[in-house]
Amino acid sequence: MKKLLLILIFAAGLFVNINAQISWPPSADNQTAKVTQLMGLVEASVKYSRPNVHSPTGEDRKGKIWGTLIPYGENVPFPWRLGANERTVIEFSHDVMIENNVVKAGRYGLMAYIEESEPWTIIMSKEPAGWGAYSYKKEDDVLRIKVTPKDCEYTEWLTFGFDNPSMESTDLFMRWENKEFRFTLKVNDYVGLYVEHFRKALKESPALFYSENWQWAADFCVNHDVNLEEALRWANMSMTPGIGEETFARLQTKANILKKLGKQPEADATMDKAVVSTTATARQVDTYARNLLNENRNERALTIFKLNQNRFPDQKYLTALGLADYYLHVKEKKNEVKYVKVAIDNLPERQKSSLGDLQSRLK
């Protein structure tokens, strides 16, 4: 019994000791930093410790960083940790492409061999933990790429950052003293990632009960011309009783999908409902009519312009200008002038800058 009691006391003491660890200030005042960049759904981040050009004792190390503090060549015992203290860690939430190489989602140690007059070798190791690169093993390499360093503005503290971000890519750079290198991270199929994200999210509560989510997912697909059959179902779901209602915007989303699926008559029938919807605005109907003009669907465009005029008698300037532009498009000058005059007579104060252009159309 006494033996068991001693074991329990020892174990309890060990537990307390382990959990009594505290966070200490960074070694040599090398501050820890983390930078993050999103490429759509894909998150990339770098966590690192930031040495400065002046040593902890105040020594000015300008001109002594490259080749002295950080030695050149691969004949050194281990690569540079691209920072100070713990190993610099790069992390990806999804797979990314780096120079046509697929790097799987995960955490990696980031290191480098530097050269005086040749490209540097950037290394990603499957082992992200450790103090510096002292335990580095070449067999743990996941990726090696070459980068060409360039001169840059003086940078006292080692700095990682992201540049030129987009949904499909971003540039990761590192600057210190007077040198900079960078390389590009790419997302192989950000559109497909979003479609799969929508598909999963719209099966789960509470997302599926918000009609906007169904519409946004459908809009994304039609804007990127992908997954149209499923997008049509999502568009219909956005207007399902109990979830949402028919609005001009949602009916237009559905019509756009039908059009891309080669179902123009069904698309037109859907827009016929949209333009008489109580949610439709004169501006939305006018824009739709102008889109028809751009497609040279002149007869239907005229029908919609006239419908807009009848539906919104208080919007005389907008609806008259729409008809004037229609008659300009079909080269009927007499009718164009007629509706330009109506537009001028009903010119809103905020549109006064347009007066000169409208008057020039009368000449």
State mean pLDDT over 140-159.
97
Q: Which residues contact 315 (CB under 8 A, 6 or more apart)?
A: 282, 308
Kindly report, residue by residue over 105-115, the tens digit of the pLDDT.
999 999 999 99
- CATH class (in words) of the domain with range 189-280: mainly alpha
State the virtual CA torsion across 79, 80, 86, 91 in degrees, nearest 10.
-80
Q: 1.10.10, 3.10.620, 1.20.1070, 1.25.40: which CATH number matches 282-363? A: 1.25.40
Cis peptide before 206 (omega within 30 of 0): yes
Q: What per-residue confidence (pLDDT) applies to 58?
A: 86
Do the first three CATH levels of 189-280 and 282-363 match, i.e. the same topology? yes
Q: What is the pTM of this model?
A: 0.81
Q: Which residues contact 245 (CB under 8 A, 6 or more apart)?
A: 211, 239
Residue-wise burial string across 136-153, b where 16 or more C-beta atoms lie within 10 A, e elsewhere: beeeebbbbeebebeeee
Q: What per-residue confidence (pLDDT) applies to 21?
A: 57
The amino acid occupying position 308 is N
N-term to C-term CA, the chain: 111
Q: Look up residue 332 and give its DSSP letter.
A: -
Kindly report, residue by residue over 288-339, the tens digit of the pLDDT.
999 999 999 999 999 999 999 999 999 999 999 999 999 999 999 999 999 9
- Asked if 105 and 95 count as a contact pair (C-beta separation under 8 A), the reply is yes
For the chain, what are the domain ranges?
A: 26-186, 189-280, 282-363
Cα gap 101→99, rounded to integer Å = 5
Q: What per-residue confidence (pLDDT) applies to 20?
A: 55
Q: Look up residue 135 and give its DSSP letter.
A: T
Alpha helices in the chain, H assignment, sequence order: 2-19, 190-201, 211-224, 228-237, 248-260, 264-275, 282-294, 298-311, 316-329, 333-345, 355-360
Q: What per-residue confidence (pLDDT) applies to 100?
A: 93
